[in-house]
Amino acid sequence: MRLVSVGGVGLAILLLAGCGKNKASEGPQQGPQGANGALPVEVLALKPGEVRDAQEYLGQVLSRTSVELRPQVAGSVQAIRVKPGERVKQGQVLLVVDARQQRADLRAAEAQRASALANREFARSTSERAAQLLKEGLMSRQDYDQAVAQAASAEASARAAEAQSQAQQVQLGYHEVSAPFAGVVGDIPVNVGDYVTPEMAVTSVDQSQALEVSVQVPVESAARIEVGRTVVELLDTEGEPNVSAPVFFVAPTPTGNTQLVEVKAAFENTTGLRSGQFVRARVVYQTRQALLLPTYAVSRLGSQAFAFTVIPGDGGTVVQRQPVTLGQIEGNAYELVGGLEEGTRVAVSGVQLLRDGQPVQPKPATPRGSQETGVGGASDAGQ
């Protein structure tokens, strides 16, 4: 009897130990859930935001003041006084064409001018003496008229010589190719000693402060552009706009090859862009207000998109899966076309863990990428 009693006591101890072990294993299963099984989630209230109907294109930067320079005389290049890409001032000499023959012609014209001026002075004095002699009766009227005519002829010859001299001086100036305005020198495809003609472009000058961007858009899109209101943005390497300017020109007809319409916008160059450079350009056709739903608040089942709204339940706060209709993406949010209304509270964290009707513990959404959640939301979260 004593042996049986001891065995029963041992069996009871083993059973109690097993029960304790089972209870110990049940305790930690709650994980991140609260005491009532509710899952902590971040919540925000939907509100309107700016949505832009925009499209990105390849644009080209053009100088609003650009000129291709050609010499006005033919001859050999005597000197090149600038380098490609150099900034120059208005009137600065860029290139010189050999002007030795022109200088010789100018000296000859100056000599003729000096001779004509001397003849004019002599003829004037002769005419004055003839007038005095005629008055005193010492010269005939015919001789006097001849002296006056010679004076007039000498005056005309002197004026012609002066004009010829001035023309030669102007012609000499044509042997210097100067900058018509301040800007940046382009390529110089000629060298010292090369023979150039007035039909040959020797360089160019671009004014880089006032630029414009040219964008080719489809015909149907061009019909939506409003001059002075539609905006063109130039994007940096990260896709962020660094220049924004209104459209000032829309071509009346599309180009024959591509059937695209040219659109232009002018801007001040504050970012170091260069004329002729290709850039990423975004045309903002329309800006409107619409509800925005963060992309990280969206779950999908097949082709249907859902959001989890936070609503009161029988035993506390629960989430309800709500189908939504989404539009275009604006930043990190979808345009909400249908399914939810302004002010509706939606869960923005742990979306993949949520189930319809699941109890939750709502808390304000933190900025996306925070160390606390890794997803974040908006600053106007619901409670």
Q: What is the CATH number of the domain that holds 39?
A: 2.40.420.20
The secondary element (H helix, E strand) that includes residue 115 is: helix 100-136
298, part of any domain? yes
- Mean pLDDT rounded to a whole number for the chain: 85
The region of weakest confidence among 129-138, 180-189, 238-247, 366-375 is: 366-375
Nearest one of 364, 360, 359 to 378, comparing CA atoms = 364
Number of domains making up the chain: 2
What would the mean pLDDT of 232-247 be, rounded to a whole number? Answer: 92
156, part of any domain? yes
250, part of any domain? no
CA distance 231 to 227: 9
Q: Tokens 């009707």 — which residue? A: 357
pLDDT of residue 8 exceeding 60, the answer is: no
Residue 365's pLDDT is: 86
Domain boundary (145, 173, 201) is at 173
Residue 377's pLDDT is: 37
Residue 383's pLDDT is: 35
CA distance 167 to 216: 48
Give 342-378 pLDDT, tens digit per residue: 999 999 998 999 999 999 999 998 876 433 333 333 3
218, part of any domain? no
In degrees rounded to 5, what are phi and psi of residue 234? Answer: -95, 130
CB 53 within 8 A of CB 329: no
41, part of any domain? yes
Rounded to two decimals, what is the model's pTM? 0.55
Residue type, position 100, single letter? R
Q: Can you give the residue range of the structural domain that contains 103? A: 99-173
Domain boundary (173, 208, 223) is at 173
CATH of the domain at 116: 1.10.287
Question: Which residues make beta-bridge pairs with 57?
Answer: 281
Contacts of 144 (CB under 8 A, 6+ apart): 130, 131, 133, 134
Residue 328's pLDDT is: 85
91, part of any domain? no
Residue 34's pLDDT is: 52
CA distance 345 to 360: 13
Residue 274's pLDDT is: 84
Residue 374's pLDDT is: 35
What would the mean pLDDT of 114-125 be, rounded to a whole number? Answer: 93
301, part of any domain? yes
